[in-house]
Amino acid sequence: GNSVTQMEGPVTLSEEAFLTINCTYTATGYPSLFWYVQYPGEGLQLLLKATKADDKGSNKGFEATYRKETTSFHLEKGSVQVSDSAVYFCALETSGSRLTFGEGTQLTVNP
C-alpha cells in the first residue's frame, strides 16, 4: 500500500539555521508529492508540491525535490525564522485525489 515516512521529531533550531525534514514514500505508480504546514490552532495549508520526478517545489523559502530514485521528497530551508514554527506534513496523492499523510514533524525555532 501507499505510505509516507517522515523523520522523527520534534526538531528544535535557532533562528537562521538550516532546516532539513526528511520524507520518504512507498507508492505504486507515480504519485504527486506535497508538503503541508499546520500552524498552532489552524488547519493544514499547502506549502509546496511536485507532480513528477525531478520537479522542485518551492514556496516561502522552502524547497523540496521529487527524487524518484530514492523515493524521497525532503523539505529544506536555508534560514529558518521563529514564524516557521509549526508542524510539517509530507503527503502523497494517488489516483482519485486521495492524500496519504506522514505523521508530521514538529518544528520549533528559537530566537
Partner 1 sequence: EAEVAQSPRYKITEKSQAVAFWCDPISGHATLYWYRQILGQGPELLVQFQDESVVDDSQLPKDRFSAERLKGVDSTLKIQPAELGDSAMYLCASSEDRVGKLFFGSGTQLSVL
- Contact residues toward partner 1 (CB under 8 A) are 4, 32, 34, 41-46, 49, 51, 89, 91, 93, 96-104
Query: CB of residue 107 vs partner 1: minimum separation in angstroms?
Result: 15
Task: Provide the 3-class DSSP secondary structure of residue 106.
Answer: strand
Report the nearest approach of partner 1 to the CB of residue 94 (Å). Answer: 10
The distance of closest approach from Cβ of residue 104 to partner 1 in the complex, given in angstroms and rounded to an integer, is 5
Shortest distance, position 96 Cβ to partner 1, whole Å: 6
Residue number, 17 or 65, with CB nearest to partner 1: 65
Beta-strand relationship, 105-110 and 11-14: parallel
The residue among 49 and 74 lying less far from partner 1, judged by its C-beta, is 49
Cβ proximity to partner 1: between 42 and 69 the closer is 42
CB 85 within 8 A of CB 104: no
Shortest CA distance to 87 belongs to which of 100, 101, 106? Answer: 106
Number of helices (H) and strands (E), helices first, in the chain?
0, 12
Residue with the three cell numbers 523523520: 7
Which C-beta is closer to partner 1: that of 80 or that of 104? 104
- Residue in the structure block whose three cell numbers are 482519485: 96
